[in-house]
């Protein structure tokens, strides 16, 4: 049997090689973990971005509905303004007609009273003994 004797020098080389290998592995592991962390952060950021995109899409959809509602409200307000103007005009016309009718009726009543004035005086004198209209 050929057995080779391991010397201290051989052991020192093995330990040195092992140390270099371990340092290399440590550096590689550090690099892998840093890269993995960056990948995970990027994935999380992309996932968050997708969530934000969905939220923005939902907001856009709601905004379209709000715009439609506002458009309907604008139309309703415009219609109300038109109705209000029409109401004002119709009311003014109605008051003018009423005022005209009242003047005509007042003149008519005045004429009736003037026609019946002598009769009213005579009636008051018969009932009360004197007239308040003289």
What are the pLDDT digits (tens) for 46-69? Answer: 888 889 899 999 999 999 999 999
Residue 128 has pLDDT above 60, yes or no: yes
What 8-state DSSP symbol labels residue 130? S
Model's pTM, two decimal places?
0.42
Q: 120 and 130 in contact (C-beta within 8 Å)?
A: no
State the average pLDDT over residues 103-131.
81
pLDDT of 68-107, one tens digit each?
999 999 999 999 999 999 999 999 999 999 999 988 888 7
Residue whose C-alpha is closest to residue 133's, from 123, 111, 107? 123
Q: Are 61 and 68 in contact (CB under 8 A)?
A: no
More confident residue, 38 or 86: 86
């Amino acid at each position: 049997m050929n057995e080779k004797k391991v010397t201290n020098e051989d052991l020192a080389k093995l330990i040195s090689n092992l140390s270099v290998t371990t340092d290399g592995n440590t550096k590689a592991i550090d690099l892998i973990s840093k890269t993995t962390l960056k990948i995970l952060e990027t994935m999380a950021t992309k996932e968050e971005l997708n969530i934000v995109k969905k939220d923005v899409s939902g907001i856009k959809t709601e905004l379209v509905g709000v715009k439609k509602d506002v458009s309907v409200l604008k139309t309703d307000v415009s219609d109300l303004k038109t109705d209000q103007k029409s109401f004002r005009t119709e009311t003014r016309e109605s008051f003018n007609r009423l005022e005209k009718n009242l003047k005509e009726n007042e003149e008519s009543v005045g004429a009736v009273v003037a026609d019946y004035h002598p009769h009213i005086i005579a009636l008051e004198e018969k009932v009360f003994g004197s007239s308040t209209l003289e």
